[in-house]
Amino acid sequence: MTSEHTYDALVIGDGPAGDAAARKMGSAGLHVALVEAAELGGECLNSGCVPSKALLALTSRERRPWDEVVARVRAVQLLTRGSDPDGGFAEAGVDLYRGAARFLGPNEVAVGETVLRAPHVVIATGTAPAIPPIPGLAEANPLTNRTVFSIPSLPGRLAVIGGGAIGLELGQAFHRLGVEVTIFEVLDRVAASEEPEVSAELERVLQAAGVRVETGIRIERAARQEGGRVALWTDGRRWEFDEVLVAAGRSPQLPEGLDRLGLALDQRGFIETSACGETNLPGVWAAGDVTGGLQFTHYASLQGHHVARHIIAGECEPRPAPVGVWAIFREPEVGHAGLTEGEARRSGRTVRTARLDARELDWFRASGSTIGFAKVVADAATGRLLGAHLLCERASDLAGEAALAIQCGLTAREVAAAVHPYPTAAELFRWACAQVSHG
Ligand SMILES: Cc1cc2nc3c(=O)[nH]c(=O)nc-3n(C[C@H](O)[C@H](O)[C@H](O)COP(=O)(O)OP(=O)(O)OC[C@H]3O[C@@H](n4cnc5c(N)ncnc54)[C@H](O)[C@@H]3O)c2cc1C
C-alpha cells in the first residue's frame, strides 16, 4: 500500500555528505527525511576510510592471521557506527527510510511503496568503484574496496590496478600480510596528484620493501582462468595472479529516474552544481563525491553542511574555496596541503620552494623513521605559504597545520616564527618554512 509524506527537506544517501546535511537541518528544526539504500555511514564507514585505516593499523606492527584481521576491522566499524542501529536520527529530528530512492519528479521520490515530497532534495549518493574498460576485466570479477575486506582467505599474489591513494594503501597493507603485491599504474608515476619528488620517493620505498610497482604500463586484456587465477596482458607480457584488486577511480552513483528530469551532469557524469551546491533543477541540491570535486570525507561533510545552511537560511552564500588538503595513509604517510610547485607556477605566480629531509630533525632520528621530507611552496613576491607536501611519519597531522596556515594567509616566515614544541614531527614543517623564507 502506498503511503505519502511531505517534508521540508529530503536527503538521499547517508554518507558523510548526506549525514551532515540531514543532522544539521534536523537540529535546526526542519522536518527532514533521510533515505539510505544500504548500511548507514556510506562508503567511508563501510568500505572506505574506516576499514582501510583499521587494516593499515592492524598490519603495521606484526603479521596476523587474516580471519583475526577481518574480525578486528569489523569491530572498529561497529565501534565507529555507535550503539543505535538507526544512527540516532530520531533524536536528531530526522525520519530515516531504508531503501533505494527513485526520482518521480524533481521534488518527489519513491522508496519502495512510499512517496516522499519536499521543496528541497539533497542528492548525496556518492560513488562506486570504477572498473576500467579493459577487455575481460569486468567479467573476471575483480575485487574492489567493497569486497576486499571480506575475502575468505588471502591470495598468494595480488595485482592492484591503480597507483593512487587507495591502491597504495591497500597494496601496502596486503603486502604486510605476506601477499606478493604488484601495483600497475597507467601514468608514469604513482600518486600522480602529489609532487613528483613525493611520487619518486614513494615508489622507491615501496620497491625497497618488496612491492613491485609497474608505472606507465597499460593492461590490454584480463581473463579469469580455469582454476580461478587471473591473467593480465600488458605490452608483450602475460602476468598471472591469484586475485586482482581494482582501485582505479570512482564512478558517480545516481538515483534512478534522474535521467528523465534533465539534471545537468559534467562530462564524466558527475552532478554539476552552483557554488552554493544547487543543481540546474530548482530545489534540487547535491553534495559530496557525487559532485565530482575532491573526493574525501572532510569535503563531503563540508559540502553537506553548506547545502544545509543554504536550505535553512533560504539564501545562497557561495562556498569558500577550501584549501586542498588530504593524506595517504601508508608508511611513511603523505600529507598534502595547498598547491604543488607546478600548480603554483601554472597559476602565474613566481614561487620559491624549500625541501628539508626528515633525517635532519631530532624527532625523526629519535623515532627511528628518517625516511622522507617536507617540501614547501611560497609566493616569492609576498612570502605567503601556498603549499606543503610531506612524506614522513605523521604527515597527515602536519598537513592539517599547513592547511590552517595557508587558509589564514600566513607567510612562511610567520609559520617559522611560531614556536613549536621540541622534539616533534611538526618541526619539519616549521623549519622547511624557515628555509623558504630565507630564500
Ligand atoms: C578504500 C577507500 C579509502 C578511503 N579513505 C579515505 C580517507 O582516509 N580519508 C578521506 O577523507 N576519504 C577517504 N575515502 C573517500 C571517502 O570514503 C569518500 O570521500 C566519502 O565517503 C564520500 O562521502 P559521500 O557522502 O559523498 O558519499 P558516500 O560515502 O559514497 O555515501 C553515499 C551513500 O548514498 C547511498 N545511496 C546511493 N544511492 C542511493 C539511493 N538511490 N537511495 C538511497 N541511498 C543511496 C549509498 O548507499 C551510500 O551510503 C576513501 C575511499 C575509499 C574507497
Closest residue to atom 53 of ligand 1, CA basis = 48
Q: Give mean pLDDT in consecutive 10-residue pieces for the chain, a chain of 439 residues.
A: 92 98 97 98 97 93 90 96 91 96 97 98 98 98 97 98 97 96 98 98 95 97 96 95 98 96 97 95 97 96 95 79 91 96 97 98 96 98 98 97 97 97 97 92
How far is ligand 1, taken at its centre, from the CA of residue 145, in Å? 11
Q: Cα–Cα distance between 323 and 185 in angstroms, integer?
A: 27
How far is ligand 1, taken at its centre, from the CA of residue 363, in Å? 36
**ω into 332 cis (within 30 of 0):** yes
Measure the CA angle with vertex 407, ends 401 and 413; round to 5°: 70
Closest residue to atom 12 of ligand 1, CA basis = 296
Indicate the SS3 state at residue 20.
helix
pLDDT for res 438: 82
Closest residue to atom 51 of ligand 1, CA basis = 48
The sign of the CA dihedral 276, 279, 285, 291 is negative
Burial class (CB in 10 A: 0-12, 13-18, 19+), 44: buried
Q: Which of 12, 45, 49 maximizes ligand 1 atoms within 8 Å of its Cβ, making it the mutation to test the pocket? A: 49
Burial class (CB in 10 A: 0-12, 13-18, 19+), 338: buried
Q: For the chain, which domains are there?
A: 3-40+86-128+250-313 (3.50.50.60), 138-246 (3.50.50.60), 325-437 (3.30.390.30)
pLDDT for res 212: 98
Q: Cα–Cα distance between 57 and 359 in angstroms, integer?
A: 24
How far is ligand 1, taken at its centre, from the CA of residue 355, in Å? 35
How far is ligand 1, taken at its centre, from the CA of residue 98, in Å? 17
What are the beta bridge partners of residue 3? 114
Atom of ligand 1 nearest to the CA of 13: 34
What are the beta bridge partners of residue 325? 337
Closest residue to atom 21 of ligand 1, CA basis = 44
The x, y and z cell numbers of residue 150, run together, are 571480506
Atom of ligand 1 nearest to the CA of 35: 43
pLDDT for res 321: 75
Indicate the SS3 state at residue 96.
strand
Strands (E), 341-403: 351-357, 373-379, 385-392
Q: What is the β-pairing status of strands 325-328 and 284-286? A: unpaired
How far is ligand 1, taken at its centre, from the CA of residue 131, in Å? 17
Among residues 286, 152, 161, 332, the alpha carbon closest in space to that of 228 is found at 152
Query: Which spans in 265-356 are helix H?
Result: 297-313, 341-346
The x, y and z cell numbers of residue 427, run together, are 618541526
How many CA atoms are closer than 13 Å to the CA of 274, on its beta-carbon side?
A: 16
Q: What is the β-pairing status of strands 243-246 and 108-111? A: unpaired
Indicate the SS3 state at residue 11.
strand
Give ligand 1 pocket residues (Cβ under 6 A).
Answer: 12-18, 35-38, 42-44, 48-49, 52-53, 100-101, 124-127, 145, 166, 253, 255, 288-290, 295-298, 300, 329
Which residues lie closer than 8 Å to 223 by C-beta, 6 or more apart?
136, 139, 140, 230, 231
Which H or E run contains 326? strand 325-328
Atom of ligand 1 nearest to the CA of 42: 49
Atom of ligand 1 nearest to the CA of 125: 34
How far is ligand 1, taken at its centre, from the CA of residue 53, in Å? 15
Predicted structure pTM score: 0.96
pLDDT for res 316: 77
Indicate the SS3 state at residue 90.
coil
Q: Which of 150, 297, 330 maximizes ligand 1 atoms within 8 Å of its Cβ, making it the mutation to test the pocket? A: 297
Q: Cα–Cα distance between 310 and 294 in angstroms, integer?
A: 21
Q: Which of 23, 43, 102, 131 maximizes ligand 1 atoms within 8 Å of its Cβ, making it the mutation to test the pocket? A: 43
Atom of ligand 1 nearest to the CA of 170: 1
Contact present, 185 and 214 (Cβ < 8 Å)? yes
How far is ligand 1, taken at its centre, from the CA of residue 15, in Å? 5
Atom of ligand 1 nearest to the CA of 326: 11
pLDDT for res 320: 64
